[in-house]
Structure 1
Amino acid sequence: MNFHLFKKNQSFNSTLPGANFLDSKNLNGKGLKVIIANDANLEGQAKNVANTIVKRSEILGVIGHWASEMTMATVDIYNP
């Protein structure tokens, strides 16, 4: 799901098309949802996205940023 389609406090369990696709494909009630966020390869945007992500308790991990520079700019946000 595209992170930027959601409002600040909107649940990721929304009525977006395909949002419940994996509900019947889980294992013991657990599945994987992938949220995509775009930092536009800009440090300010990367920090904004990172700060938003860490406030969402249902997001358990982050893979990426595309560029190492954005990772370095946000690593302390994800791991204070």
Structure 2
Amino acid sequence: MAVSVDRKDHTASELRRLAAGSRDASAARRMLALALVLEGVPRAVAAETCGMDRQTLRDWVHRYNAEGVSGLSNRKEG
């Protein structure tokens, strides 16, 4: 069963706007994948379109649900 995007902070169009203005290309790609999911695009298609596999998209949905947009950036190691 697919993990749902539970946060309601942003609509798909707002995520697209944030992605367009982001200086973090990886986070922007993740925002675009989430926007596709919110628009009802199948997970496999959203993941492939944004250059990731379905499991990776699932992991980012979990992070977004827990941390919001700020959770879509890579964490610094250390």
TM-score in same-fold range (> 0.5): no
What is the TM-score when the length of structure 2 is the normalising length? 0.29
What is the TM-score when the length of structure 1 is the normalising length? 0.29
Which structure has the greater CA radius of gyration? 1
